[in-house]
């Protein structure tokens, strides 16, 4: 028996399904238990317990914007909640599961047309079902000299990824994926189609300029529930002549403070792509028994002890890989500039040169390139870091400073230990820099398909992390649906006016509350009242 | 795409050599299966470019230690039922696939492709 939408009886539900079938064809309406179960989150924090938590009632797979409109109209008529996904690969952040059990998932995978790639103006317009692999192949097949900026997993969608504030690896103006969009088309909760930016002018060029005139409302479609995006334009980087990556290593733990300052400057000057922080002492060298012993001591280790140990082992405390794109002369000059600034300021800093890679590059050279996403080549290598049965990502936004990193290690480390989830972040855990203007402290909590107790502890730890972060003035940038409300509630300035404003908008544009109820912690009136 | 179509030709010709039935319909099914495999499976079960690449191939190498080939495509002991169970339930970090990704027809083709070299 399917999980029904709240307040809907089976008869009404069956009638709605029949309408969906009439509108888009019976083959594209999935309603058997077996088919619907495939929309659960594959990295499910409820495995081994209530596996039907956050389960869809059915799924519909439209092929065109008109079919999306028809679905939305039927949903209004029958008060059926919808939940749109593009490629539905949001693993670690909810997979393809809705925020509200009983929602009908609108699976946009069939809408997989690349509408345009412009090599002169460096943009692409795509439908939601286009994956990074698809867009990359499209560009390669036509020999176009533009790069995509992709996240680690290549099977996601530029649209779906951008709509969850997803991120990648090259220059800052491309790797903030929503930030690099240039306008969109969406089906509104009443079934109308709207275009933003220059697409709002009949005959206008969608990839041209995202602001158009008047308030910019594209952000409402991100982690929101104001419509189903059916097309999106993205700016692309022209293929650079060269890529260069050099590594900086600094000796002491506190050297991270000036290192971050310099790298922030390089980033904000537009000289580098994603800087990748690591730690020779704590990274793969972290299994060192002496280090483990120091860290296991009550109260942990002092910086002086850690530095002495790192010095004895002959390893640096921190490293950062700097990536440069552009003309060969400039990438080398920018690397020289980075070296000079850091060497002047941080005693004992070391610099490991890399090699210049030139483009176009052969397929074989791309295949064996060390970190392919850094040059816009999608792949699935990252899944090597996923623990046995998947994970749940806790991703806190913190200021771009070493102090925030150190504080985060302490705050989240305590929660790991309290919840018996292992040592957690050690004093060498760095920050993720995918978003160019913020650090993200990310912890991947392991899940189990069979050990419900582990999952319950992980969920509790996750909730504790949200609260602990909020106390520091931090919040999360995306999260699995089960945690959306708590996260939104932490953004509570002035009596949660942010959420309340979104609710006012929601009630006005989606009076039946059919569009992704609960997404982003925003509920339509009818369900808010039920919860109250 | 050039690389892709080449590999399809190669795979299709292997199927021709090994397939026991070998009629045109079976061959078309196997060929379709190799395309499904290309899109949804080879991205994790292909030939690793480095020791950190191709998590499916690496994990199966760790698990079986060479007792069976690490690449699914080279296996001769997979059964259609086993393939379907794994693709629809997932295994470890491998997520399950929706029907919009791997349809029932795709599944049949995938099964034909991955069992094409099985002994009778
Ligand atoms: C090991 C690992 C590594 C990862 N690395 C990265 C990384 O480097 N960068 C990164 O960004 N992410 C990363 N992720 C997270 C995730 O896998 C990607 O962000 C992925 O691209 C998201 O899935 P998707 O593109 O299929 O989006 P979807 O799952 O299709 O969409 C995500 C959400 O956006 C909304 N949405 C989608 N489409 C629409 C639409 N058309 N209209 C309205 N709303 C919509 C829905 O709420 C949906 O749930 C990683 C995950 C794992 C497990």
B93/A389 CB distance under 8 A: yes
What pLDDT sits at residue B15?
42
- A134 CB near a chain B CB, below 8 Å? no
Please name the fold of domain A242-359. Vanillyl-alcohol Oxidase; Chain A, domain 3 (3.40.462)
Find the A103 Cα to ligand 1 centroid distance in Å.
19
Closest atom of ligand 1 to A43 CA is 53
Residues in B 87-116 with any Cβ partner in A closer than 8 A: 88, 90, 92-93, 95-101
Pairing of strands A228-235, A29-30: unpaired
State in Å: Cα A326 to ligand 1 middle: 29
User: What's the token pair of residue A532?
Assistant: 């109250």
Does A477 participate in catalysis according to the annotation? yes
Task: Give the residue from chain B lying closest to A362, CA to CA.
Answer: B3
Q: Quick one: DSSP state of residue A307? A: H
Q: CA torsion, points A89, A92, A96, A101, in degrees to nearest 10?
A: 180
Q: What is the DSSP string of A377-438?
A: --B-GGGGGS-TT-EEEEEEEE-SSHHHHHHHHHHHHHHHHHTTS-S-S-TT---B-SSTTS
Query: For residues A509 and A433, what is the distance between their CA atoms, to the nearest angstrom?
Result: 36
Q: What is the ipTM of this complex?
A: 0.95
For chain A, give every residue range classified as CATH 1.10.45.10.
497-531
d(Cα B41, Cα B60) in Å, to the nearest integer? 14
- Domain A10-107: which CATH class? alpha beta
In short, whether A520's Cβ falls inside 6 Å of ligand 1 is no
Contacts of B43 in chain A (CB under 8 A): 133, 154-155, 379-380
pLDDT tens by residue, chain A, 532 residues: 679 999 999 999 999 999 999 999 999 999 999 999 999 999 999 988 776 678 999 999 999 999 999 999 999 999 999 999 999 999 999 999 999 999 999 999 999 999 999 999 999 999 999 999 999 999 999 999 999 999 999 999 999 999 999 999 999 999 999 999 999 999 999 999 999 999 999 999 999 999 999 999 999 999 989 999 999 999 999 999 999 999 999 999 999 999 999 999 999 999 999 999 999 999 877 788 999 899 888 888 999 999 999 999 999 999 999 999 999 999 999 999 999 999 999 999 999 999 999 999 999 999 999 999 999 999 999 999 999 899 999 999 999 999 999 999 999 999 999 999 987 889 999 999 999 999 999 999 999 999 999 999 999 999 999 999 999 999 999 999 999 999 999 999 999 999 999 999 999 999 999 999 999 999 999 999 877 7
DSSP states of A190-220:
TS-EEE-GGGGSTT--TTT-S--SS---GGG
pLDDT of residue B16: 41
Buried b (16+ CB within 10 A) or exposed e, B58-67: bbbbeeeeee
CB contact under 8 A, B98 and A39: yes
Whether the Cβ atoms of residue A481 and residue A95 lie closer than 8 Å to each other = no
Q: What pLDDT score was predicted for residue B25?
A: 86
Ligand 1 atom nearest residue A92's Cα: 53
Listed in order, the ranges of chain A carrying CATH 3.40.462.10 are 242-359, 391-488
Q: Which of A83, A372, A477, A519 is catalytic?
A: A477
- Top-tier CATH class for A114-238: alpha beta
Query: Quick check: A133 contacting B, CB < 8 Å?
Result: yes
CATH of domain A391-488: 3.40.462.10
Catalytic pick among A39, A43, A93, A136: A93
B106 Cβ neighbours under 8 A, 6+ residues apart: B32, B33, B36
Residues A380, B55: C-beta atoms closer than 8 Å:
yes
- The encoded tokens of residue A94 equal 């909810």
* Per-residue pLDDT at B14: 43
Instruction: For residue B1, give the nearest of A137, A383, A389 by CB distance.
Output: A137
Which residues of chain A make contact with B98, given a CB cutoff of 8 A? Answer: 35, 38-39, 59, 88, 96, 107, 109
Q: Which domains does chain B have, with CATH numbers?
A: 2-114 (1.10.760)
3-state secondary structure A108-157: HHHCCCEEEEECCCCEEEECCCCCHHHHHHHHHHCCCCEECCCCCECCCC
From A41, A150, A160, give the residue whose CB has the most ligand 1 atoms within 8 Å, as the site to mutate. A160
Percent of chain B whose pLDDT exceeds 90: 76
* pLDDT for res A1: 64
pLDDT of residue A460: 97
Across the interface, do A383 and B44 touch by the CB < 8 Å criterion? yes
Strand blocks (E) in A38-91? 58-60, 82-85
Answer whether B98 sits within 8 Å of A88, measured CB to CB.
yes
Domain with CATH 3.30.465.10 in chain A: 114-238
Distance, CA of A139 to CA of A126 (rounded, Å): 12
CB A235 within 8 A of CB A174: yes
| Contact check, Cβ <8 Å, A384/B50 | no
The model's pTM: 0.95
Mutation choice for ligand 1 from A39, A65, A81, A90, CB with most ligand atoms inside 8 A: A90
pLDDT of B6 > 60? The answer is no
Separation of alpha carbons A87 and A129, rounded Å: 6
- Domain A497-531 matching CATH 1.10.260.40: the answer reads no
């Amino acid at each position: 028996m399917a999980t029904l939408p709240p307040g809907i009886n089976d008869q009404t539900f069956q009638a709605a399904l029949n309408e969906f079938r009439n509108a888009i064809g019976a083959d594209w309406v999935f309603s058997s238990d077996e088919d619907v179960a495939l929309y659960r989150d594959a990295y499910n924090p409820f495995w081994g317990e209530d596996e039907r938590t956050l389960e869809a009632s059915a799924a519909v797979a439209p092929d065109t914007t008109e079919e999306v409109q028809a679905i939305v109209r039927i949903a209004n008529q029958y008060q059926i909640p919808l939940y749109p996904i593009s490629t539905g690969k949001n693993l670690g952040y909810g997979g393809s599961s809705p925020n509200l059990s009983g929602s009908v998932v609108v699976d946009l995978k069939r809408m997989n047309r690349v509408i345009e790639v412009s090599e002169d103006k460096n943009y692409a317009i795509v439908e939601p079902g286009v994956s990074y692999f698809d867009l990359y192949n499209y560009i390669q097949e036509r020999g176009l000299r533009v790069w995509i900026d992709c996240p680690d997993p290549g099977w996601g969608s530029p649209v779906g990824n951008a709509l969850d504030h997803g991120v990648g690896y090259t220059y800052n103006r491309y790797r903030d994926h929503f930030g690099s969009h240039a306008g969109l088309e969406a089906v509104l909760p009443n079934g109308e189609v709207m275009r933003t930016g220059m697409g709002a002018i009949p005959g206008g060029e969608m990839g041209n300029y995202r602001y158009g005139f008047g308030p910019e409302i594209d952000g409402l479609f991100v982690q929101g529930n104001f419509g189903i995006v059916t097309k999106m334009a993205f700016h692309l980087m022209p293929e650079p002549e060269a890529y260069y990556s050099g590594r900086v290593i600094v000796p002491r733990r506190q050297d991270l403070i000036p290192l971050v300052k310099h790298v922030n400057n390089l980033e904000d000057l537009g000289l580098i792509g994603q800087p990748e922080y690591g730690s020779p002492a704590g990274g793969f060298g972290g299994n060192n028994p002496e280090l483990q012993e120091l860290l296991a001591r009550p109260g942990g280790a002092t910086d002086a002890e850690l530095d002495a140990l790192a010095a004895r082992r002959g390893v640096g405390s921190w490293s950062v890989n700097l990536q440069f794109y552009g003309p060969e002369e400039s990438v080398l000059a920018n690397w020289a500039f980075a070296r000079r600034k850091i060497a002047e300021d941080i005693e004992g800093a070391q610099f490991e040169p890399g090699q210049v890679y030139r483009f176009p590059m052969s397929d074989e050279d791309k295949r064996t390139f060390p970190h392919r996403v850094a040059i816009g080549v999608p792949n699935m290598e990252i899944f090597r870091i996923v623990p046995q049965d998947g994970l749940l990502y806790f991703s806190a936004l913190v200021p771009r400073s070493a102090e925030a990193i150190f504080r985060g290690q302490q705050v989240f480390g305590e929660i790991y230990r309290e919840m018996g989830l292992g040592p957690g972040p050690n004093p060498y855990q760095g920050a993720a820099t995918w978003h160019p203007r913020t650090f993200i402290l990310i912890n991947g909590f392991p899940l189990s398909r069979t050990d419900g107790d582990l999952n319950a502890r992980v969920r509790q730890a996750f909730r504790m992390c949200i609260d602990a972060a909020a106390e520091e003035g931090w919040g999360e940038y995306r999260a699995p649906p089960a945690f959306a409300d708590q996260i939104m509630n932490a953004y509570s300035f002035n009596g949660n006016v942010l959420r309340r404003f979104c609710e006012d908008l929601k009630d006005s544009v989606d009076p039946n509350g059919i569009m992704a109820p609960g997404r982003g912690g925003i509920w339509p009136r009818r369900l808010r009242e039920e919860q109250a | 795409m050039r690389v892709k179509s080449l590999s399809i030709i190669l795979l299709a010709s292997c199927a021709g050599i090994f397939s026991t039935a070998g009629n045109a319909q079976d061959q078309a099914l196997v060929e379709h299966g190799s395309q499904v495999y290309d899109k949804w499976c080879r991205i994790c079960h292909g030939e690793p470019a480095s020791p950190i690449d191709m998590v499916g191939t690496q994990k199966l190498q760790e698990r079986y230690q060479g007792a069976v080939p690490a690449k699914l495509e080279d296996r001769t002991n997979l059964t259609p039922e086993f393939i379907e169970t794994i693709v629809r339930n997932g295994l470890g970090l491998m997520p399950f696939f929706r029907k919009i990704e791997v349809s029932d027809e795709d599944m049949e083709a995938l099964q034909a492709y991955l069992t094409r070299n099985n002994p009778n």
